Homo-oligomer: A and B are copies of this chain.
């Protein structure tokens, strides 16, 4: 009789054991458990869990953009076009997309990189965004959201160089997709710290420090920059971007620009890395670049429908070919996802039948983001022991919190980090589910949490009040 499994914790790919993804980690698991307890009538000091762990706008009550959903419905079921009361431009868009599909069915495979027509639409979007910088649909690869594409791009760097293991520079704090994917791929991470005291800027001296230290034992291949920041919410200044590009050039690093929040802007202007490189001219305008966008973010916020693109510019032809072949093995991204990307790349324009409703929906989404960003900034900075930078973009706040020594000692006894302890107490006492800074990284000795900010107004106010009340009690208890 066999006693052992063939696949065990000892002989499984050990990289998989090192993956951590706090956004869907232990705090969320406990929150889900509490939700079940509430359903069963277990008494709690609150009525409901407020999920603020993940940037999932529809789950927070944001309404889908009508135009997108109507186009998707007609692309899936063209027969409904006659019966359903939808505007002419919706029918027209669905027809356009279907004419790009083999035998007019979204159920046929598309090319691996996506439908040619949708890639062309993305190139037009990019060209319009970047002014003079040219964009080619050949450089645009569609995927199942940015995560899928970021993993494919990072996979290219898994190769020792001159006998040294490869490393990738990522910010701290960072979105744990990066740390998790580097773990899975067995790529070393080289952490550079964002400057919290300077609106989370990337300081060149810190980039240099990170590169030098990492280069002692590894070959640094690539630099990841997240702009607008996640979890940090800053939008980089143009000057800072130029410094970053010069640094990447000097150290011959491949730049990965996670720009998925480029449509979630509160105030400061967003510049794409591609545009800034182009405007800097030679030699920077000939650097390689990967820039990512996803329909899960921006005003579409269609997280569940998995669509995005990467623009890969100035790759060597053999490198681009290898990337394409690796993608082809996975067939193609969802064609309905590609429909959504098509709508995001070219939303209804003034004069078109769907425009008035679209403009209203878009305006509401932008109004909510701006208002919540301001409220979160003001509220957090009004709580004793809290500090929060202005939220320029994205949909998160990442306040720094003071945790009393006694609370840190209590955390240690439970074998938890102080911020994990803090977030778990917050969840247990108020039902508010945020993610501890440990999941994103932070300067040693500092503590943070990430919260989404896009809840409905009442819910958001309830959350802010809950956090304030909790923190004051927490200070009382542990001071």
Residues of A within 8 A of B (CB): 1-2, 4-9, 11-17, 19-21, 24, 54, 56-61, 64, 66, 69-70, 72-74, 76-77, 79-80, 83-86, 101-103, 105-110, 112, 144-145, 147-148, 151, 155-159, 161, 176-177, 180-181, 184, 221-222, 249, 252-254, 282-283, 286-288, 296, 301-306, 314-316, 318-319, 322-323, 325-326, 328-337
CA distance A234 to B7 in the complex (A): 29
- Chain B residues closer than 8 Å to A76, beta-carbon distance: 69, 72-73, 76, 336
Known interface pairs A80-B73, A306-B333; A254-B102 also in contact (CB < 8 Å): no
Report A214 CB to chain B, min CB distance, Å. Answer: 15
Known interface pairs A16-B326, A184-B326; A80-B84 also in contact (CB < 8 Å): yes
- Chain B residues closer than 8 Å to A283, beta-carbon distance: 1-2
Report A171 CB to chain B, min CB distance, Å. Answer: 17
- Chain B residues closer than 8 Å to A8, beta-carbon distance: 316, 318-319
Q: What are 29 sample pairs from A and B whose C-beta atoms fall under 8 A apart?
A: A6-B221, A7-B156, A7-B157, A8-B318, A9-B318, A12-B322, A19-B322, A19-B325, A20-B325, A21-B325, A61-B103, A64-B107, A70-B77, A72-B336, A73-B73, A73-B74, A80-B80, A80-B84, A83-B83, A83-B85, A144-B334, A151-B329, A177-B329, A180-B326, A184-B329, A304-B334, A305-B334, A334-B336, A336-B336
Q: Out of B11, B21, B326, B336, which one reaches A161, CB within 8 Å?
A: B11
A106–B73 CB distance below 8 A: no
- Chain B residues closer than 8 Å to A303, beta-carbon distance: 107-109, 331
Given A64-B105, A151-B329, output 16 extra A-B contacts at Cβ < 8 Å.
A2-B249, A2-B287, A9-B322, A11-B161, A12-B156, A12-B319, A56-B108, A58-B108, A59-B102, A70-B80, A72-B73, A80-B84, A84-B84, A107-B302, A108-B303, A180-B329
B5–A319 CB distance below 8 A: yes
B108–A21 CB distance below 8 A: no
A147–B329 CB distance below 8 A: yes
- Chain B residues closer than 8 Å to A147, beta-carbon distance: 329-331
B24–A108 CB distance below 8 A: no
Q: Which residue of B lies closest to A51 (CB)?
A: B102
